[in-house]
Structure 1
Amino acid sequence: MKLLEIQSSVRLEQSISRALSDEFVQLWQAHHPNAQHKQRDVGIHPPAHPTEQWTTANYTPIDQQTSEMQAVLSDSERLIEELLWADQLLLGVPMYNFSIPSTLKVYLDNIVRVNRTFVFDSERFSFEGLATNKKALVITPSAGNFAPDSSLGAMNFCETYLRSILNFIGIQDITIVAVPNQFMSDAIRQREIKQAQTTLIQLAQTW
């Protein structure tokens, strides 16, 4: 069993998503002592943004790529190989301005690539994900309550985007642990964190 942990918060000690992820990994490893674990911290060390050269190389068939094109895509290739290595993904994703952190977006732009993590049928205009047989756990703190049935639910582009993009590359088994109301009083904040911790304790045994 191989777990890839992806952290996207720009904060360190004050990060709720990082703290909960750390707790979960320790619990999960206790139940899976022989499992492998890697961490990719795109919050502190984000990959480079795609450029025009990168895009040209990406859409050039592998057998036609020059050495320069391969060099431009080398970091992206390493990220994709790391993703494909994993059986399970743990993503720490705080909501920033109703969506995911830009650090995570640039990571996703590097790994969502035609003929690497998805294929495209131009005749049928259909797509098929290649990162299959994996499952993802997303820990996502937010300032308020962005549950689907809440007044802010329609503004939750963080959860909807993550589900869509992970589904697109073939990851269908997705569990999201929301940690809402982090801009509320300390009592409310701690209640939500405690509830998330309880959920993660249960998941560590069965996930």
Structure 2
Amino acid sequence: MKLLEIQSSVRACGSISRRLSDEFIQAWSTAHSKTQQKKRDVGINPPTHPTELWTKANYTLPKERSHLMASVLTESEILIEELLWADRILLGVPMYNFSVPSTLKAYLDNVVRINRTFTFDPATYTFQGLIQGKKALIITPSAGNFVVGTPLAEMNFCDTYLRSVLGFIGITDVTVVPVPEQFMSNEIRQQEMTMARTKLMKIATDW
């Protein structure tokens, strides 16, 4: 089993998503002794944003790309190969202003590429994801409570976006573990952390 960890918090210390990810990976490694792991930290080391040249290169056939075009896509190719390598993908994604961190958006813009992670059929106007047979687990702390069924749920563009974009490239088995109310009292924060840990420990054994 091969696990790719993607962290997007800009905080190296004090990050809830990082802390819970570490705890999950420890439990996961215990349950799956032969696990191979890779880590991609886009929060601390964000990928380069796509540029005009990047976009032109992306829509140019590989055999017709100039050396410069191929070079500008190198980072993107590395990120995509990591996704293709993994069986399981763990994403630590704190909610920033109702959505994902901009560093993670830059990462996704690098990996959602036609004929690499999805195809498009102009005859039927349909898309097909190419990243098949994988599972994703998302740990998403938030200041308030934005889970389904709460008054603020309609402002949650973090979970909904991630499910949509991952599904678009073929990753449809997605589990989200929210960690809400992190700006509330210490008692409430700890209760939410405990519930999240319980969920994650269970997932670690059978995911």
Distance 1:99 1:35 in 2: 31
Tell me the residue number matched to 1:196.
196
One-letter code of the match for 2:101? P
Identify unmatched segments of 5+ residues in structure 1. none
Tell me the residue number matched to 1:46.
46
Deviation string for 1:135-190 (max 9, x for gaps)?
A: 00000000111011110000000000000000000001000000000010000000
Deviation string for 1:36-72 (max 9, x for gaps)?
A: 0110000000000000000000000111111111001
Normalising by structure 2, report the TM-score. 0.99
Tell me the residue number matched to 1:72.
72
Query: Residues 102-113 of structure 1 correspond to what in structure 2 (within 5 A)?
Result: 102-113=102-113
Query: Residues 92-103 of structure 1 correspond to what in structure 2 (within 5 A)?
Result: 92-103=92-103
Tell me the residue number matched to 2:169.
169
Aligned length: 207
Query: Residues 1-207 of structure 1 correspond to what in structure 2 (within 5 A)?
Result: 1-207=1-207
One-letter code of the match for 1:134? K
Identify unmatched segments of 5+ residues in structure 2. none
One-letter code of the match for 1:75? E
* Offset at residue 122 of structure 1 (A): 1.2
Normalising by structure 1, report the TM-score. 0.99
One-letter code of the match for 1:196? A
Distance 1:40 1:194 in 2: 26
Distance 2:193 2:59 in 1: 44
